[in-house]
Chain A
Amino acid sequence: MSLPDVEYIRPESMDELLSHMNQYGDDAALLAGGTDLIPRLKMGLTKPHVIVSLSAINGLSSIRQTAQTIRIGALTTIYQLQRNPIIYTCYPALYEAAVSIGGESIRHTATVGGNLIQDTRCMAYNQSKEWRASFNPCLKQGGHICNAVKGGRRCFAAYCGDLAPAFISLGGLACLISKEGEREIPLEALFAGDGRSPFSMRRGELLKEVILLYSKTKGGYNKLRIRNTIDYPLASVALSSDQKEKGRLVVGAVGPCPLTYEFSSYRQLKLLTEKIDKDTIPIANRPLSPLYRKQMVKVLAEELIKNLGNSPS
């Protein structure tokens, strides 16, 4: 597998970048750390006309604190995120999610934005061109069938990002920027819920930063995987609450987008697990049985809830 021939542009200012983004739209692929893009390029899963590098863009890789918010730039590496004392102290769900990503060398390269806007995954899709030649193109490839589940009519490729459930559990906002300007939306609104086309962003838009309310939260992140490092989650749960028992529980990696559940007391939180169990319908497009992954969501959630009850205020 080698990289295809494709044009490479390296804009040196935000204006230049946004101009290119506007011009090319979906024909451009953004290159930050590349840990999601490069494998997909090599496998022939994505065929952009141009790669737009973000390596010369300044101002997007810092974690800034204002009076009320923490603003995490999209080009912040995962390593920078995990090393930041505010993240560690105030947002345990986010910290635990960050340190669970890949392995240490990946975390030095991968970025917050890249981790958030990663494509959905499926064992029948994330394969080389030669491998996929045995099958007709699947729904995610623009075809008419699902190669993971016979007779499937919708694409259930799973969203496997670790940071998104954590950010969403913290009520994070996504700041999107384009030639038209900036807008802020709740991070969960970024997800279209479609395995084929997971994000609802406008043409020419890119993620600039994630905004969190500056406050001390409680919670954590549990990730189901086979090995203790490297692997993507097969199911995940992020839980965050403020000091007044109000917060969110978010389920990840069992469908095309994270599932968000709000609660305003721990009593309410404990009752959520039944609903979560009903909503969780993973399919056989990842390793381990779907029934097991479904059962584990409840186990992961209950452990986080129990720890929440035990943690000091």
Chain B
Amino acid sequence: MSELNHVTKGIQRMDGEFIVTGRAQYAVDIRLSGMLYGKILRSPYPHARIKDIKTASAEKIVGVKGVVTGKDIGHRRFSFIDTPAYPAEETPLAVDKTRFIGEGVAAVVAVNEEIAAQALNFIEVEYEELPAVFDPEEAFQDGAPAVHDVIEPNTTTAWEDFGIPKKLRPYKVVNNISNKTLIENGDVEKGFKEADYIREDRFVIPATSHVAMEPHVAVASYQPNGNLDVWLSHMGYEHKRFWFAKLLDIPISKVRVHKTYVGGAFGGKISFFPYEFIAAYLSKITSRPVQVTLSREEVFSACPPSRRMIITVKTGVHREGRIIAQDVKVIDDVGAYRNSSPTAMYLTHVFRNPIYDIPNVRHEAYGVYTNKLSTLAKRGHGLPQMSFAVESQIDMICEDLGLDKVEMRLKNFRKKGDVLPNGDTLRSYALPQCLKQAAEKIGWKGKYGRKRLRGLGIGTASMFSGAHNFPFASAAMVRLNHDGKIILFTGQTEFGNGVDTVMAQIVAEVFNCNIDDVIVHSGDSEVCPHDIGNWLSAGVFVSGKAVMNAALDLKGQMLTYAEEGLRTPIDQLAIVQGRIVSWSDKMKCLSFSDISKYAIQKASGDPLIGKGFSKCVPEVYFWREEFNKMGSLSSGKGRFTEAYGFAAATAEVEVHPETGAVKILKIVVADDCGTPINPAFVEGQVLSQAVMGIGDVLFEEVLMKVGKVMNPGLLEYKIPTVADIPEILSIIVDSYEPKGPFGAKEVGENSRAAVIAAIANAVCNAIGTRLYTLPMTPDRIRQVLGETVGT
């Protein structure tokens, strides 16, 4: 590849100054004339029928402009996944009954937040408490309280709106099962018969919260002409626009999602939220803009955290370590609403699939309703939970059979060029290099098994670069300004991922101009074209390609005019530092600004707009009755993604024999992201994932007691502090993905899972016994230490 000027350079964020000087505008900073403030009243019971709600006293309070209940809003249903097989069941406010502590039952809108909050105290709700169920294995039994009965869609489902043929049907909930997935390749029973050694282990992973810097907030302004302007804290506007439009029964084109800075998301802001609809609905009924801000406590206790899973893995291997069969059962403790469970139950298989070449696989997963808050994707969406389970078991198998933990994994990895059972091709695959480098840099050979109460561990992970999920593809536009600057319009969402800068780097690379000559206008749904968003790990891979194609389109147009203007054939022209130059005669050159003038004067005012697009998985489509290679969430068949990112991590820890406290000495993460568009950002992604992983293994858990979140605050929900972070080394492994822009693919969600598995394995290696649950707090470690070390 020829020398790159912008791509692969770790330049500083273009919006850094805005953010650190406080000029960046977040949704909570929006001030609109006449703006009102909304607050939500939440159910204190895990399962209760709403018998009556009296709002008259609240409505009388001076400053209150409206009070709404579930009855007013009705059964407008939404969900992360809404298909004929799995129709949506959640409503913005509970209508007939509440299903978890924290579910909204009413909302107040008032002239300021204090009055709105006070007014909540004056809403009288009469509840009839119902028996509740909190344990998914109990909920699954006959006779358990039913969280849902029959889910009857009252409109088309979202996927029918996206274009799949209509097949509306009710979903009858049996044994509280919300959704099922069964994926089979080969024949597991036959595989187990051939195995020399079989292990079966059960792992329990609790929910952890996303803890984004910015809590959830929405501003909605419903105009008299039916236009809806919104300012959100989110991860992609297409999904939000769709649901605002559907639930308010207005055309999507009337919903404008404005550009906002977003203070982190990590998966916790993907789906449509009740508070967002409530802001829009209150705006509609008051004819004034409305802001709804959730407190940190509401985010912890009423917004979905990561998915709670019980994972049972049964693995059969040959004596020398070759994995021959694997049977996985996942129970997803869904909570009150299904949310992203159908997706996650599929992802728990397909995210791990590219790592080990296992000929016989069975993956059975189902979601179970309980009376707790629902759960959602968090950075990896099922991959961290599965990696913890599978990688822990691999370590145990190695220990049982006396196998080297690095070599055994290398022996089972797939290979570059492999085609997976579902048809995905691993065109770039540097996972073996990742593991080798991570092992080398932690000093695996010299340190493993040398010191008592010191342990080393390994974790591996892989992640898609997007899938054929709404909105399926991205487009981008670039426009030449008369001063020669290039303006990029992309629907990408900047929430700390650095995406604005990365897209500018791609444009600047195509044009070989200064990075300051590129202006990025992102995240505004009115002006920017459709975009796949930033929650499918497809930002760079899909939108980056669309941006690159748009830039190439504009460049082609500009070179055509330069050819005319300089009377020089195109093949003798080059762009050098923002000027189009003739090779043979360096005096013959035109600036970008000159091209703009030429287009206006000599090409009838051609505005020189370039457009580009890219589809996430080109082969897959559905059109009318035709389906081609569609991925099925329930069977695992069909194409999934075009490229996978990979990560391997190693960790070294020391455990205190008496307190059970874990001290992490070092973490190494080696990542295969193809070409790193911005290596500084890649390192930032890897480091932040490693820190998250430390939290997952040592500190974090959404503690629940009879459906109540016990630690809904930053003091008792323990994320790592700066004093808890060890040395973390991040390595970008040499790799190139042919289908990605400049060879790039996914990087934002992989390392977390690899680090979780690595630290967990290191702790268990140090204490000489296995812990099957997270977090590995000192009391849990001490308890097993007491049983083995016998201090």
Binding site for B on A (CB under 8 A): 1-2, 103, 123-124, 127-128, 130-131, 133-134, 224, 226-232, 287-289, 291-293, 295-296, 299
**B638 at interface by CB-CB < 8 Å:** no
B221-229, B313-321, B327-335, B775-783 - interface stretch: B775-783
The answer to whether A226 touches B44, judged by C-beta atoms less than 8 angstroms apart, is no
CB-defined contacts of B660 to chain A, threshold 8 Å: 292
CB-defined contacts of B101 to chain A, threshold 8 Å: 134
The answer to whether B720 touches A227, judged by C-beta atoms less than 8 angstroms apart, is yes
Pick the contact of B718: A123, A231, A292, A296 (CB < 8 A).
Answer: A231
The answer to whether B699 touches A123, judged by C-beta atoms less than 8 angstroms apart, is no
The answer to whether B724 touches A228, judged by C-beta atoms less than 8 angstroms apart, is yes
CA gap between A230 and B715 in the complex, in Å:
8
The answer to whether A123 touches B42, judged by C-beta atoms less than 8 angstroms apart, is no
The answer to whether residues A228 and B113 also contact, given A130-B42, A130-B297, A288-B777 and a CB cut-off of 8 A, is: no
Pick the contact of A296: B45, B659, B703, B721 (CB < 8 A).
Answer: B659
The answer to whether A295 touches B721, judged by C-beta atoms less than 8 angstroms apart, is no
Shortest CB distance A231–B (Å) = 7
CB-defined contacts of A128 to chain B, threshold 8 Å: 297
The answer to whether residues A227 and B44 also contact, given A123-B711, A296-B659 and a CB cut-off of 8 A, is: no
The answer to whether B718 touches A227, judged by C-beta atoms less than 8 angstroms apart, is yes
Of chain A, the residue at the smallest CB distance from B779 is: A292
Shortest CB distance B398–A (Å) = 30
The answer to whether B659 touches A227, judged by C-beta atoms less than 8 angstroms apart, is no
The answer to whether B723 touches A227, judged by C-beta atoms less than 8 angstroms apart, is yes
Given contacts A226-B699, A228-B724, 9 further A-B contacts (CB under 8 A): A2-B113, A127-B712, A229-B723, A231-B715, A287-B716, A287-B777, A292-B660, A293-B779, A299-B659
The answer to whether A226 touches B783, judged by C-beta atoms less than 8 angstroms apart, is no
CB-defined contacts of A230 to chain B, threshold 8 Å: 715, 721
A-B contact pairs, 17 of them (CB 8 A): A128-B297, A131-B301, A131-B712, A134-B708, A227-B718, A227-B720, A227-B723, A228-B723, A229-B722, A229-B723, A229-B724, A231-B718, A232-B715, A287-B711, A289-B783, A292-B778, A292-B782
CB-defined contacts of B295 to chain A, threshold 8 Å: 1
The answer to whether B721 touches A227, judged by C-beta atoms less than 8 angstroms apart, is yes
The answer to whether residues A134 and B45 also contact, given A226-B699, A288-B777, A299-B659 and a CB cut-off of 8 A, is: yes
Of A128, A134, A232, most B-chain CB atoms within 10 Å? A134
**B195 at interface by CB-CB < 8 Å:** no
8 A Cβ contacts from B297-341 to A: 297, 301
Shortest CB distance A174–B (Å) = 28
8 A Cβ contacts from B713-737 to A: 715-716, 718, 720-724
Shortest CB distance B661–A (Å) = 9
The answer to whether A295 touches B782, judged by C-beta atoms less than 8 angstroms apart, is yes
Of chain A, the residue at the smallest CB distance from B657 is: A299
**B710 at interface by CB-CB < 8 Å:** yes
For the complex of A and B, 5 pairs with smallest distance between CB atoms: A292-B779, A228-B723, A134-B44, A229-B723, A289-B779
CA gap between A75 and B126 in the complex, in Å:
49
Shortest CB distance B654–A (Å) = 14
CB-defined contacts of A227 to chain B, threshold 8 Å: 699, 718, 720-721, 723-724
**B404 at interface by CB-CB < 8 Å:** no
Provide the main secondary structure of the chain A interface: loop
The answer to whether residues A299 and B658 also contact, given A2-B117, A123-B710, A227-B723 and a CB cut-off of 8 A, is: yes
**B114 at interface by CB-CB < 8 Å:** yes
The answer to whether B721 touches A228, judged by C-beta atoms less than 8 angstroms apart, is yes
Per-residue interface assignment for chain B, residues 101 to 122, with 1 indicating a CB less than 8 Å from any chain A CB and 0 otherwise: 1000000000001100100000
CA gap between A295 and B711 in the complex, in Å:
24
CB-defined contacts of B711 to chain A, threshold 8 Å: 123, 287
CB-defined contacts of B42 to chain A, threshold 8 Å: 130
CA gap between A230 and B712 in the complex, in Å:
16
Of chain B, the residue at the smallest CB distance from A39 is: B715
CB-defined contacts of A288 to chain B, threshold 8 Å: 777-779
The answer to whether A123 touches B716, judged by C-beta atoms less than 8 angstroms apart, is yes
The answer to whether A226 touches B712, judged by C-beta atoms less than 8 angstroms apart, is no
8 A Cβ contacts from B634-689 to A: 658-660
Of A130, A133, A134, A295, most B-chain CB atoms within 10 Å? A130
Of chain A, the residue at the smallest CB distance from B775 is: A226
Of B101, B660, B703, B778, most A-chain CB atoms within 10 Å? B778
CB-defined contacts of A2 to chain B, threshold 8 Å: 113-114, 117
8 A Cβ contacts from B158-216 to A: none
Shortest CB distance B106–A (Å) = 13
CA gap between A133 and B724 in the complex, in Å:
35
CA gap between A134 and B704 in the complex, in Å:
13
Shortest CB distance B576–A (Å) = 51
Of chain B, the residue at the smallest CB distance from A133 is: B44
Shortest CB distance A283–B (Å) = 14
CA gap between A313 and B632 in the complex, in Å:
74
Of chain B, the residue at the smallest CB distance from A284 is: B705
Shortest CB distance A266–B (Å) = 21
The answer to whether A224 touches B724, judged by C-beta atoms less than 8 angstroms apart, is no
CB-defined contacts of B712 to chain A, threshold 8 Å: 127, 131
CB-defined contacts of A292 to chain B, threshold 8 Å: 660, 778-779, 782-783
Shortest CB distance A192–B (Å) = 25
CB-defined contacts of A295 to chain B, threshold 8 Å: 782
CA gap between A107 and B114 in the complex, in Å:
30
CA gap between A58 and B658 in the complex, in Å:
47
The answer to whether A226 touches B778, judged by C-beta atoms less than 8 angstroms apart, is yes
The answer to whether A226 touches B721, judged by C-beta atoms less than 8 angstroms apart, is no
CB-defined contacts of B45 to chain A, threshold 8 Å: 134
CB-defined contacts of B782 to chain A, threshold 8 Å: 292, 295
CB-defined contacts of B724 to chain A, threshold 8 Å: 227-229
Of chain A, the residue at the smallest CB distance from B791 is: A299
Shortest CB distance A38–B (Å) = 13
